[in-house]
Amino acid sequence: MFGDVRAIAFIEKKVFFFCGLFSIFLSFLLFSAGLYVFLLNDLDKRTNMAKNALSKHMESIFAELQQVADNSALVCEKADIDRLRRATFYSPIFKEFGLFNADFKVYCSNLGAINISIYKSIVSRIENSEDRKTVSLMNSKTLGDATFFAFYQRPDGVGVNALAPPDSIASSINQILLPDYVYELTLGKQVLFSNRNQIVSDLIETKKVTFDDWAIELEVLLTTDLYWNRLLALLPWIFMCWALLSIILCTGYFTFAYYRRSLRHCVKRAIKNNAMEVYFQPIVSLNVDGQYEMEALIRWHSVHHGQVSPLVIVDMADRLGLIDELTWMVIRKVGDFYREYPLPLSDINISVNVDRHSLLKETFAPSLAGILDEYPELKGRLGLEVTETSALNAIDLPIMVSRFEHIKALGIHLSVDDFGTGYAGLDFLRRFPYDTLKLDQIFIASLKDDQFTRQILTSVTKLAKELNMKLVAEGVEREDQLNAVRELGVDRVQGYYFCRPLPKEQVIAWIEEHAAHMQQDSTRL
C-alpha cells in the first residue's frame, strides 16, 4: 500500500505545486472577499452605532438645557448669573449659557446681563419645532466662527441657549468611528466635523444617516486604504489558511487518487463505462459436420493494473454486487458482434459465462428476455455456461430447476462449465436440462496418463450421451490430448491446440481461414 502511495506521489509531483497554487489563490480569495463583506457590514453597524450615540448625546444636551431653563426666571440677578456660571462649569460640553425671553431676546448669560436678539431664522425654527428645540452653527464672539448653538424654550416663554465648540458634538461618535473610518458631520450646510482631508485613496462605500429633527447629517466613508491595511494585518492568517488548505487539498487529492486507482474502483468504473473487451474462443466440432461454436471471455487491460485476469474481474464484480451488470455487458457485446458480422457468424452459437447465483435471482430471466428483445440476433444462438461452485441446498434446488426451465424457454442453450471441479454430481446432470457438458481442462491434462481420470470421463461421457447432451473437452493443447478425447467419444474441443481466445476481428479472420481449410478438405475427399 505504501509503495503505491509513494508511486502516486512521485508521478503526481506537480500536484503539490498546483495544490499550493490553488490554495494560495483560494486563501486570498476567501480573506479578501470575506474582509470586503466584513467591512461593508462593519460600516453599516458602526454608522448605526454612531447615529444612536449622537441621538443620545443630543438628548443629554437638551436635558441639560431643560434643567437650566427649569431653574431660571425672567430676571438676571447675581444669583441667576451664578447659576448659569455653575451650569457652565459643570457642563461637559457647553462653554456658555444664556437665557432669552418670549420676544427671543437674550437677557442674561453666565458673563452677566446682555441684550442680544436671536436671529429670525432661529426664532422661526424654534417656533416651528414641536418641543421648541433647535440647534445651529453660528458665529460667536467668545468661541469663534463656527460655534454650536442649542436652544430650548419653555412653554411660558423663558428659553435657554448654550454654546459649545463644534467638535464637542463629534466627540460622542469619535470613539465609534475613528481611527478606521473617515466621516463628516454637517449641520445644515455647515460642517461640524470632517476628517475628509485624510483621504488619500479611493472610496469603497459611503453610508449616510440624517437626523431630521436637527438637520444634522452623518456621512461615513470606507476607503481602500482601510481595506488594504486590514488585509495586510491578516497576512499571517492568510498564510496559515494557505498551509492548511494545501495540506487538506493534497491529502484529499492523494486519497481520491489512491481510491481511483484501487482495483475495486477501476473494475467498478470499467463495468459502468462498458470499458471491458470480450474475446472469443472457438469450440471446434470433431464430427464431419464441422459445425463449431464460440465462448465469449471477458478481457480487460486496466491503465493502473495492467491485464487483469477474468477470474479477478469476476470475483471483484461479485463483491461489488455488479456481477449481473458484467453478464449483461458481455451479452450485449456478443449481440453487437453478431450485428457487426452477420454473415460469418450466421451459423455460430456463442456462449457466455454466468454466475450460478445470478440464475437463482427472480429478475434474471426477465432481464435476459429484455436483452433478447433488444438484440433479436441473439435469439436461438446464445448459450449460458454455468459453473457449479457449491452444492445446491434443498430450497435452492427446485428454484434453480424452475429458473432453468424459464431460461430454456427463451431459446437459450445451457452448459455445465468446468464439470468435475465443483459439486455437480451425476445426479445433478439428470435433474437439470443442460444441453452441453464441458469437461474441465484439469481432467484433459491428466487424461492420457491417469487411468482413474480416464475411467471417470468414460462414465461421464456415457451418461452425457444417454442424456442427449453434447460434450466439450476444455483445455486441449496438444495432439495427444486431442486423440485421447477423440477416443473417449467427445465431439467438441476447445483449446489452444485449435485457437486461443481472440479479439473479434481476429476470430473472424480465423473463422474465414478455418472455413477455407474445411472447403479444401471436403473437395479433396
Ligand X SMILES: Nc1nc2c(ncn2[C@@H]2O[C@@H]3COP(=O)(O)O[C@H]4[C@@H](O)[C@H](n5cnc6c(=O)[nH]c(N)nc65)O[C@@H]4COP(=O)(O)O[C@H]3[C@H]2O)c(=O)[nH]1
Binding site for ligand X (CB under 6 A): 281, 297-298, 310-311, 314, 326, 330, 353-355, 385, 387, 417-418, 441, 474-477, 494-496, 501
Q: Cβ of residue 312: shortest distance to ligand X, in angstroms?
A: 9
Q: Cβ of residue 307: shortest distance to ligand X, in angstroms?
A: 10
Q: Cβ of residue 295: shortest distance to ligand X, in angstroms?
A: 6
Q: Cβ of residue 492: shortest distance to ligand X, in angstroms?
A: 13
Residue 84 or 316: the one with the smaller Cβ distance to ligand X is 316
Specify the 3-state DSSP secondary structure of 430: helix
Specify the 3-state DSSP secondary structure of 195: coil
Residue 355 or 491: the one with the smaller Cβ distance to ligand X is 355
Residue 241 or 439: the one with the smaller Cβ distance to ligand X is 439
**Neighbouring C-beta atoms of residue 335, cutoff 10 Å:** 20
Distance, CA of 472 to CA of 283 (rounded, Å): 8
CB 128 within 8 A of CB 122: no
In sequence order, which residues have a C-beta less than 8 Å from that of residue 429 and are 6 or more positions away? 416, 437, 463, 464, 467, 469
Residue 54 or 493: the one with the smaller Cβ distance to ligand X is 493
Distance, CA of 195 to CA of 430 (rounded, Å): 104
CB 478 within 8 A of CB 498: no
Residue 80 or 355: the one with the smaller Cβ distance to ligand X is 355
Q: Cβ of residue 310: shortest distance to ligand X, in angstroms?
A: 3
In this structure, is the dihedral angle defined by the CA atoms of residues 351, 354, 356 and 359, taken in order, positive or negative? negative
Q: Cβ of residue 355: shortest distance to ligand X, in angstroms?
A: 5
- For residue 309, the 8-state DSSP code is P
In 3D, which of 181, 168, 134, 161 has the Cα closest to residue 40?
A: 181
Q: Cβ of residue 252: shortest distance to ligand X, in angstroms?
A: 35
Residue 293 or 385: the one with the smaller Cβ distance to ligand X is 385
Q: Cβ of residue 26: shortest distance to ligand X, in angstroms?
A: 46
Rounded CA Rg of the chain? 50
Residue 64 or 418: the one with the smaller Cβ distance to ligand X is 418
Cα–Cα distances in angstroms (integers) from residue 21 to residues 31, 203, 232, 243, 509, in the given order: 16, 31, 19, 11, 54
Residue 136 or 353: the one with the smaller Cβ distance to ligand X is 353
Cα–Cα distances in angstroms (integers) from residue 8 to residues 15, 302, 304, in the given order: 10, 16, 11
